[in-house]
Structure formats: C-alpha cells, structure tokens
Structure 1
Amino acid sequence: MTTFNVPTREEVSENNQAIFDNLKKALGFVPNLYATIAYSKNGLERFLAYQNAKTSLSNKEKEAVNLIVSQVNECIYCQSAHLVLGKMNGFSEDQLLDIRNGKSSDIKLNALVKLAADITANRGRASEDNVADFFAQGYTKENLVDLTLQISDKTAMNYLHNLTKIPVDFPLAPAL
C-alpha cells in the first residue's frame, strides 16, 4: 500500500503555503488531514471554501452531523477532531457519547442525528420515517439540502483519512 506522509509547508504549492499560514494563525496548527489535502494544488482552497460556506444549520447541528457521519464511516481522525470541536460548541461528554451512538436527548437534534446516520449508512436512501420525523421536528427542505451537503463534506474527509491513514493529531476518540 502507498504510504502517505503529512506534507510540510515547504512541500506544498505556494497557494497552499499561504493557507497553511492562515490555518496556523487561526488554529495554532495545521491539522494533518488539511495538510494531506494540500497534496492537491487546488484541493485545500476548494475544500475550505466548501466547508466554510454559509448553511442553514447551526454550528452545533453541524458538529452533531460531523460526529455521527464520522462514526458511521469509521473515521477515527474525524471522530477525534469532532469530539474536540463538539465540546467547543457546547456539547457535554455525555451528549457527544449519545451522538456517537446515534441519538440525542434533545428531540429535534435526535431527528437530525438519526437522519444523518441513516443517509450515511444507506448512501442517501434514508427511511421515510426518519425523513418524516426530521420535518416533524421543524426542519425544512433547505435544512435537508444543507444536511446532505454537510454529510458530503464530512464523508470526503472520512474517506480521505480512511485511505491515507495519516496520524491523528487530536486526542484520540475512545472506542465505543
């Protein structure tokens, strides 16, 4: 199997070097998975624009989706990263554990988490019951589109890590 090393700033394009500098200023470091995207001359800029685009989902809802999608796709890197980001967005340890297990005590968030897991596991062929519950909890068609886009964002990252197996540079998510 091809081994992937995390590229350093000096090993990436000039455009990606500038993005590395911005990430370092904003986050204090360049996450290994973002650095790996920089193997592509245009990939990192393209992905960050997609990831940071406006959405109808709150940051907390996005983190719940990111975490359950990463759990379903068995991506330890993204599970680990989104446990940290989930805490930063106000989730408790118990709430994060529930989300990883595909549920939430918050009825509306539960509908979102269940549908996100179903869409991910079944490649877009979610059960009518989960879709109906999502809408019954007040979500809209706009939210459904944004949920699907959020799932695609996270699935791309999950797949990239599952393919490259680059080192996790966040506190490791405990096994369930």
Structure 2
Amino acid sequence: MENFPIPVKQDISAENQAIFTNLEGMVGFVPNLYAVFAHSEHALGNYLTLQNGKSSLRAKEREVINLVVSQLNECLYCLSAHTAFAKMNGFNEEQILEIRKANISFDSKLDALAKLVKAIVLGKGHVAAEVLENFYAAGYNKGSLVDVNMVIGDKIITNYLHALTEIPVDWPIAVALEEEHA
C-alpha cells in the first residue's frame, strides 16, 4: 500500500488548524490518526464531537470498550493509544492485558462490560441473551447499552481508518498478547 500522507497544519483548512492547535494544547501533539481525519473538511470536528459527547459511561468503562474493540479489530494504533489512556485512568499493565482479552478478574462489572463488547463486535450487534442479562445484572441499564454501542462505533471508525491508511503509530507500542486470539 502506498504511504498515506499525514496532513500538516499549514496544508489544512482553518477550521482543522484550530482543532490541531487545541489538540496540541491538550495532548502535547497532534496524533497521526487525528491528523488523517483532517484530509476531510469536516471529519475531524465531527469525530471529536462524537468522541467527546456526553455519556453515562465512566472514563474507565470507555477505555475497556476502546481496548476490547481495538484488540478484536487488530488495530495496533488504537491499542497503543488506549493503553496509554488506560494507564492515565488508573489501570496497570496486567489489568490492561486482561481487558484486551475480555476476561477481567479484578472487577466483575467491567468484566460483564468487556464480555458484552466482545460479543457485540464478534456478533456484528447480535448477542446471546445470557451476555446481555449478565450486563444488566452487573448494574447497567438500557441507556448504558446504547452508550456502549456509541463507543463501539467510535472505535470502529478509528480502527478502520488506521487499517485503511496504515499511518505510523506515534504512541508507545502496546505489547502483543500471548494468546493470538483473545
């Protein structure tokens, strides 16, 4: 595949330049995957609106979803970025590996969430009644289910964009799982 260019600030729209400036202030740099969105006049702003939208889910829950989806979609870029974010949200390396395997021993509620996310992704939205019942029994509700689906959609967007562009990972590289298929 030919190298996909990563836009630089002077080559993008004024609207996207302003977003780049905000990202530099928040993250310290413009991550390559966010920069790729700027090839489109509106995609970066639209994506950030989706990603930063209000949710009933806590930051840790969102990172569980991000890690499980990225693992299943084999997106090294998102696995690497969300490993860093998961650490910022208080997860340690061992917990992150458990999350990626959707087999969480340290928190039963997060385990029910991870198992639901894995079932949704593998089943393309179709899940066994038992998985959904376990999710609700763990303390989630129908609104939570909708919010989980929103975060899954968000992560599929970036996983697929990375697969299409194969841009370089500019985060510390996530370690590979020992088991090939988590």
Instruction: Report the counterpart of residue 30 of structure 2 in structure 1.
Output: 30
Cα shift readout 1:85-126 (whole Å, capped 9, x = no counterpart): 000001011110100111212111000001001111121011
Structure 1 position 3, deviation (Å): 2.8
The one-letter code of the counterpart of 1:159 is: Y
Instruction: Report the counterpart of residue 75 of structure 1 in structure 2.
Output: 75
Computed over aligned residues only, the root mean square deviation of the Cα atoms, in angstroms, reads: 0.8
Instruction: Report the counterpart of residue 132 of structure 1 in structure 2.
Output: 133
The one-letter code of the counterpart of 1:155 is: I
5+ residue gaps, structure 1, are: none
Instruction: Report the counterpart of residue 90 of structure 1 in structure 2.
Output: 90
Determine whether 1:48 maps to 2:48: yes
Q: Secondary structure at the match of 2:44?
A: helix
5+ residue gaps, structure 2, are: 178-182
Q: Secondary structure at the match of 2:41?
A: coil
Q: Secondary structure at the match of 1:152?
A: helix
Determine whether 1:171 maps to 2:178: no
Instruction: Report the counterpart of residue 162 of structure 1 in structure 2.
Output: 163
Structure 1 position 2, deviation (Å): 4.2
The one-letter code of the counterpart of 2:60 is: K
Quote the Cα distance in structure 2 between the aligned partners of 1:41 and 1:22: 17
Q: Following superposition, which runs of at least 4 residues in structure 1 exceed 2 angstroms of deviation?
A: none
Identity of aligned residues (%): 51
